[in-house]
Amino acid sequence: MRSVTIKDVALHAGVSKKTVSRVINKEANVKDETRQKVQEAIDHLGFKRNPLGMALAKNRSFFIALLADNPSPGYIMNLQKGIMKGCREEQMGVFLYDCSYRSPTLVEEIESFIDNTLADGLILAPPLSDKSELLDMLDRKNISYVQIGAKDKTRGDFVDMDAVKAAYDMTSYLLHLKHRDIGFILGHPDQYTSQRCEQGYRMAFADANLKVDESLIVQGYYTYQSGVDAASVLLNRNTPPSAIFASNDEMAVGVLYTAQSRGISVPKQLSIASIDDTPIVTKVWPNITTMRHPLTSIGYRAATFLIGRLKHKHAGANSSVNISESNETFHCDLVIRESTTLFTG
């Protein structure tokens, strides 16, 4: 069952293939009458442009890919939703490529993924956005990308959220609830966002003229298990904190588990808070107070940036101006739920 091609349409409409091409690409300079004739032929024959033909001729695939290795399924899902929306609007396909950040051959794997799919551009979710060898390879191959939550903001487009402010706001809220011993669980040390969160935590204390108890800051890795472990450390103290603020939801859920399995009542005996607002946080009991990370908007924006850059890149010689780097920073809103309450020590 051969499908109908541009050639069939041309024949049917009595014009050249080029003219059909003009019509389907909505180019100017086609007589209305001709355009209509062609359009009728298209409708009549049920013609649909074969993207592969176009891809080969234009030397671009019209696919982009989301590269991810993130311990939080909800994080990726939300991001993905926004990216898909952006891509659908622009008729771009989205590949999902799940990689293992720790793989020693990560960069080669991704390179061969690109060679195999010819993806036009990439969206890099953390922690991949923090991997400079990867960025080097992409630059060398001249592949466009946009980073989410980037460390290296000197190159390429990026979109992120204001992590300092997010952590600041949450810490301030906890302080406002009269908590003073607030355990803080860091994210992965390799990730830029993690450092930014720590900064926000410290700033909130400073602004409240309070001193940070360094022993209350413990290392995590953004995974559920690291939340469990960090909570154990914090809860094993002679004077456990009255609140624990985890840098992401997954860890907060781990904290919740640890507390509950020890018979500690949340929020009565321990308040728990986090950043992200992924779906899991409204599924556990009690629902967790968190900062709403607008991941869907971020994904949408990232897709928009990437597609814009791709368009510009292929506009080519006629506009040799290099468009400046695009970036946008989103803010997170505090969402108060059941896991935090006033300190009544």
Q: Which residues bind a copy of itself (CB under 8 A)?
A: 1, 48, 50-53, 55-56, 61, 63, 73-74, 77, 80-81, 84, 91, 93-96, 98, 115-118, 142, 224, 250, 253-254, 256-257, 260-261, 279-280, 283-286
**CA gap 312, 306 in Å, rounded:** 10
Closer to a copy of itself by Cβ: residue 96 or 336 = 96
Residue 31 CA: distances (Å) to CA of 15, 103, 341: 12, 57, 70
Q: Copy the structure tokens of residue 226.
A: 């690291």
Q: Is 215 exposed, middle or buried (0-12, 13-18, 19+ CB in 10 A)?
A: exposed
137 binds DNA (CB under 7 A): no
Give the one entry of DNA, a copy of itself, none that residue 286 binds, where binding means its C-beta sits below a cut-off of 5 to 8 angstroms depending on kind. a copy of itself
**Cα end-to-end distance, the chain, whole Å:** 76
Q: Is 22 in the site for DNA (CB under 7 A)?
A: yes
Cβ atoms < 10 Å from Cβ of 119: 25
Q: Which range touches DNA (CB under 7 A), out of 43-51, 155-163, 187-195, 290-298? A: 43-51
Closest C-alpha to 201, from 237, 227, 164: 164
Cβ proximity to a copy of itself: between 127 and 200 the closer is: 127
Q: What Å distances lie between residue 166 and 119, 226, 281, 329, CA to CA?
A: 34, 21, 17, 12
Q: Counting contacts by CB under 7 A, is residue 1 touching DNA?
A: no
The item of a copy of itself, DNA, none sharing an interface with residue 260, based on CB under 5 to 8 Å by kind, is a copy of itself
183: left (phi over 0), alpha (psi -120 to 50) or beta: beta
Q: How near is the Cβ of 122 to a copy of itself at its closest, in Å?
A: 14
Residue 22 or 151: the one with the smaller Cβ distance to DNA is 22
- Kindly state whether residue 57 participates in binding DNA, applying the rule CB under 7 A: yes
Which residues form the interface with DNA (CB under 7 A)?
A: 2-3, 5-7, 14-19, 21-22, 24-25, 28-31, 33-35, 48-50, 52-54, 56-59
